[in-house]
Amino acid sequence: MKQNQLPSEPMLSPVPMICMQNVEQTKVSWLWYPYIPFGKLTILQGNPGEGKTYFAMQLAAACTTGKAQPNMTPLEPFNVIYQTAEDGLGDTVKPRLIEAGADLSRVLVIDDGDTPLTLSDERIGRAITENRAHLLIIDPIQAFLGADVDMNRANEVRPVFRKLGDIAQRHACAIILIGHLNKTVGAQSTYRGLSSIDMTAAVRSLLFIGRVKNDPTTRVLTHEKSSLAPPGKSLAFSLGTEEGFSWIGEYAITADELLSGEEHAQTKVEQAQSLVFSMLKGSRTCRSSDIEKAAAEQGIAPRTVRMAKQQLAGRIKMYREGTQWVVCMRE
Q: What per-residue confidence (pLDDT) applies to 30?
A: 97
Asked whether residue 32 carries a pLDDT value surpassing 90, the answer given is yes
Q: What per-residue confidence (pLDDT) applies to 119?
A: 93
Buried b (16+ CB within 10 A) or exposed e, 299-321: ebeeebbebbbebbeeebeeeee
Q: What per-residue confidence (pLDDT) applies to 151?
A: 73
Q: What per-residue confidence (pLDDT) applies to 282?
A: 66
Mean pLDDT in the chain?
A: 85
Question: Collapsing DSSP states into helix, strand and coil, what is residue 138?
Answer: strand
Asked whether residue 176 carries a pLDDT value surpassing 50, the answer given is yes
Tell if the pTM clears 0.85, that is, is over it: no
Q: Which of 33-47, 92-106, 137-151 has the lowest mean pLDDT?
A: 137-151
pLDDT band, very low/low/confident/very high, at 281 (cuts 50, 70, 90): confident
Q: What per-residue confidence (pLDDT) applies to 302?
A: 80
Q: Give the domains, in start order, of the chain with CATH numbers.
A: 28-259 (3.40.50.300), 268-329 (1.10.10.10)
CB-based contact 309:292 (threshold 8 Å): no
Q: What per-residue confidence (pLDDT) applies to 136?
A: 98
**Residue 249 C-beta-side C-alpha neighbours within 13 Å:** 9
Q: What percent of the chain has pLDDT over 90?
A: 44
Q: What per-residue confidence (pLDDT) applies to 191?
A: 42
Highest mean pLDDT among 148-152, 223-227, 306-310, 313-317: 223-227
pLDDT band, very low/low/confident/very high, at 265 (cuts 50, 70, 90): very low
d(C-alpha 286, C-alpha 85), whole Å = 53
Q: What percent of the chain has pLDDT over 70?
A: 89
